[in-house]
Every structure is written in structure tokens, then in C-alpha cells.
């Protein structure tokens, strides 16, 4: 779907990959409805949009609140006249602990934001998307959605749920005007840990930090994938590599990640 003159809703659109998606979509000539809980970040994104801010609307909404999400389509259509695509980008991670040490409050929060938030958005916007000549749904899963990461078991489960839901949605909408993409970012240099209230130590045994993809590059790959109606969008060399390895040998890939994450995982 060519994005020029289209209206796109981006959740988590005021920070990280979401902000870069917002700015790049504006550069493509799209109208963008940014959904985020952080009012300050929303205003910062408006300022960064510069002369293109007239094609931007800001929506301070918690996507885990179903009633609030159900009101979003009317607000977006009031601001832009229509809605052509949604990008379910908002997400949080869990504390780096094993399931046995993870409390139910953290478990439920991760599932509500990552899975239910995406589901609420789809349910709210799909009736409107089906009325458009062409439309698109892009759901951001994670490399952790197809590859088990110790210490991020519930985060991975939430993203695996997004993955399978999206793949089924693709099948259900195959003969409609709505295209569907599932996105698998690897390591991207965002503040997702801080935004999730999580502290993350060095990513490997020698204390060096894992090299992350720039958010702008991640957004560029996602936008290009949407414009080309790609079913699967792998973001980053690590995501592409681990996707290949996991398909080849799930056990080998699982053990490889387990070794790399060993010093990061708290008891």
C-alpha cells in the first residue's frame, strides 16, 4: 500500500521506533494519528514533525484500556476524515527474571499491553479498514516472538500470541482489501526497558553491550515492508539470522540464546 495521502494510526508512536515511524510516514505524505500514554513525548513528536504537523493528530490513550481504544476510530476519523492503516507498535518488556520469580502483576501488565492492546486496536479499527479501497494492518511482534529468550518468557509469549493472531488474521482477510504484515524486530536501540520500568545489565559475559539497530533504520525497514505488502518483515541482521537458525534447528537456536543471555538472567 502506497502511503502517500493515507491515514495511519501508530501506537507507541511518540517514542523509539514509533516516533521514527511517525516521522517517516509524514515524510511519505501520510497523515498520522499518534497514540501514546506519554503526553510530553507526544508534544515532542509534534515539534519534531515541523511543517508537517498539520497532518498529525495526537491521542493520549492507554491501549490496554478497551473502552478508550473503542473510542479511537471516531477520534481519528474526526481528525483526518478516514483511516487506512494501523501499526500496532506499542509494547513493553518484563523484568529479567525466571517465571518462578515473576509476579502476576507484571505478567498481566505485559499481556494487556502487548497482546490485548493489539487485539483491541484490531477489533476497533477493522470494521473501518474493511470499508476502504485498500488498507493495512501491521503488528509488531519480536524476534522473541519466534525464539524463546530466558528471562523474557512472558514477553515472548505475548509476542508469540501477536505473531499467531496476525498470521491467522492474514488468512481471514486474504480475499479482502486489507493487507496484513507481521514484524519481527531484533535488537533495536530504543528506551523500551526504561519505558517498561526495567533495568537491563550488559548483554554478554564480557560486559560489552549488544550492538543495536538504530530506530530510524528499523522504521525504514517496516515502512518499506508495508508499502510492499510484505507478510513477514524481519528487522535487523540478528532477526534474519536467528529466524534462519531457528527454522533449521529450534533446539540449537534455543541453546544458543540461552548461553548468550546467561549472565543477564536474574534468579
Q: For residue 167, what are the CA distances in angstroms to 77, 224, 242?
A: 27, 19, 19
Domains annotated on the chain, with CATH: 7-260 (3.40.50.720)
Q: Round to whole Å and give the CA distance between 189 and 53.
A: 25
Structure confidence by residue, pLDDT tens digits, 10-51: 999 999 999 999 999 999 999 999 999 999 999 999 999 999
Nearest CA-CA partner of 186 in 146, 154, 223, 136 = 146
Structure confidence by residue, pLDDT tens digits, 198-211: 555 554 444 455 67
Q: Round to whole Å and give the CA distance between 149 and 255.
A: 10
pTM of the model: 0.91
By DSSP bridging, strand 85-88 and strand 31-36 are unpaired
Is 104 one of the annotated active-site residues of the chain? no
Q: Give buried/exposed letters for 39-51 (b at 16+ CB in 10 A, else e).
A: eebbeebbebbee
Q: Over the chain (267 residues), what is each successive 10-residue block's mean pLDDT? A: 96 96 98 97 96 97 98 98 98 92 96 98 98 98 94 96 98 97 88 58 50 91 98 96 96 91 64
Nearest CA-CA partner of 226 in 170, 183, 167 = 183
Q: For residue 122, what are the CA distances in angstroms to 39, 127, 162, 237?
A: 23, 9, 11, 29
pLDDT score for 259: 87
Sheet holding 85-88, edge to edge: 56-60, 31-36, 7-11, 85-88, 135-140, 178-185, 232-235
Active-site annotation holder among 116, 120, 155, 170: 155
DSSP state of 263: T
Q: Round to whole Å and give the CA distance between 159 and 53.
A: 32
Q: Round to whole Å and give the CA distance between 242 and 6.
A: 34
Can you read off the three cell numbers belonging to residue 6? 493515507
Q: Is residue 20 exposed (0-12), middle (13-18) or buried (19+ Cβ within 10 Å)?
A: buried
pLDDT score for 206: 46
pLDDT score for 169: 98
Amino acid at each position: 500500500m502506497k502511503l502517500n495521502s493515507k491515514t495511519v494510526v501508530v501506537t507507541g508512536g511518540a517514542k523509539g521506533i514509533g516516533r521514527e515511524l511517525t516521522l517517516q510516514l509524514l515524510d511519505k505524505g501520510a497523515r498520522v494519528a499518534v497514540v501514546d500514554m506519554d503526553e510530553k513525548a507526544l508534544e515532542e513528536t509534534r515539534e519534531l514533525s515541523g511543517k508537517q504537523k498539520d497532518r498529525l493528530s495526537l491521542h493520549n490513550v492507554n491501549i490496554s484500556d478497551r473502552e478508550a481504544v473503542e473510542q479511537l476510530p471516531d477520534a481519528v476519523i474526526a481528525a483526518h476524515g478516514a483511516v487506512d492503516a494501523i501499526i500496532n507498535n506499542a509494547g513493553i518488556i518484563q523484568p529479567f527474571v525466571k517465571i518462578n520469580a515473576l509476579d502476576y502483576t507484571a505478567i498481566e501488565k505485559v499481556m494487556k499491553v502487548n497482546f490485548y492492546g493489539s487485539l483491541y486496536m484490531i477489533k476497533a479499527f477493522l470494521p473501518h479498514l474493511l470499508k476502504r479501497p485498500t488498507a493495512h494492518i501491521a503488528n509488531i511482534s519480536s524476534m522473541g516472538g519466534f525464539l524463546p529468550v530466558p528471562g523474557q518468557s512472558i514477553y515472548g509469549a505475548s509476542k508469540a500470541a501477536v505473531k499467531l493472531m496476525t498470521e491467522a488474521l492474514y488468512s481471514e482477510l486474504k480475499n479482502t482489501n486489507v493487507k496484513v504484515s507481521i514484524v519481527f524486530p531484533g535488537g533495536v536501540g530504543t528506551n523500551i526497558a526504561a519505558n517498561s520500568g526495567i533495568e537491563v545489565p550488559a548483554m554478554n559475559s564480557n560486559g560489552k553491550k549488544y550492538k543495536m539497530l538504530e530506530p530510524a533504520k528499523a522504521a525504514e525497514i517496516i515502512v518499506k515492508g508495508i508499502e510492499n505488502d510484505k507478510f513477514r518483515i524481519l528487522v535487523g541482521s540478528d532477526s534474519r539470522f536467528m529466524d534462519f537458525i531457528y527454522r533449521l534447528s529450534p533446539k540449537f537456536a534455543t541453546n544458543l540464546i540461552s548461553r548468550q543471555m546467561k549472565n543477564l538472567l536474574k534468579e
